Structure 1
Amino acid sequence: MTRRDQWLLWLFLAPTLLLMGVFLYYPMIGTVWESLHQSSFISPDPEFVGAQIYSRVLDDPDFGTILANSLVWTVGVVALQNVLGFAAAMLLNQGLPMQGVLRALVLMPFILPGVVTAILWRFMYDPQLGLVNSLMIRTGLVEDSAAWLADPGTAMAAVIFVAVWKGFPFSMLIYLAALQNVDESQLEAATLDGAGPVRKLFDVVLPAIRHVVLVNIVLTLILTFNYFDIVWVLTRGGPQDSTHIFPTKIYETGFGQFQFGEAATYGVMSILVLAVLVALYVIVERGTSRRRPEA
Structure 2
Amino acid sequence: MLKRDRWLTWIFVTPAVLLVAVMMYYPMIGTVIESFYSTSFINPTPKFVGLAVYQKIFGSADFLQIVWNSCVWTLAVVALQNVFGFFCALLLNQKLPGQGLMRSLILLPWVLPGVVAAILWRFMYDPQLGLINSFLISAGFGDQGLAWLADSSTAMAAVVIAAVWKGFPFCTIVYLAALQNVEEEQMEAARIDGAGAVRRLWHIVLPSMKEVIAINFILTTILTFNYFDMIWVLTRGGPQNSTHIFPTKIYELGFGQFRFGEAAGYGVVSIVILALLITLYFLAQGSGRKAAS
Deviations 1:226-271 (A, max 9, x none): 0001110000000000000000000000011100000000000000
Q: After TM superposition, which residue ranges in structure 1, 4 or more long, deviate above 3 angstroms?
A: none
Change (3 A) 1:142 1:107: farther
- What is the root-mean-square deviation of aligned Cα atoms in Å? 1.1
Deviations 1:181-217 (A, max 9, x none): 1000111111122211111111000000100000100
SS at match of 1:61: coil
TM-score between both structures, scaled by the size of structure 1: 0.97
- In structure 1, the residue matched to 2:87 is 87
Q: How many residues align?
A: 293
Matches within 5 A, 1:48-67: 48-67=48-67
Matches within 5 A, 1:1-295: 2-293=2-293
Distance 2:76 2:16 in 1: 35
Deviations 1:80-111 (A, max 9, x none): 00000000000000111100111111111111
Distance 2:256 2:231 in 1: 16
Change (3 A) 1:81 1:142: farther
Distance 1:191 1:145 in 2: 50
Structure 2 counterpart of 1:159, one-letter code = V
Distance 1:142 1:206 in 2: 42
SS at match of 1:140: coil
Deviations 1:134-171 (A, max 9, x none): 11111233443100000000000000000000100000
SS at match of 2:62: helix
Identity %: 60
Distance 2:142 2:195 in 1: 42
Distance 1:6 1:44 in 2: 49
SS at match of 1:209: helix
Distance 1:136 1:105 in 2: 26
User: Mind listing any 5+ residue stretches in structure 2 that lack a counterpart?
Assistant: none
Distance 1:91 1:30 in 2: 47
> Shift of residue 3 of structure 1?
2.8
TM-score between both structures, scaled by the size of structure 2: 0.98
User: Mind listing any 5+ residue stretches in structure 1 that lack a counterpart?
Assistant: none
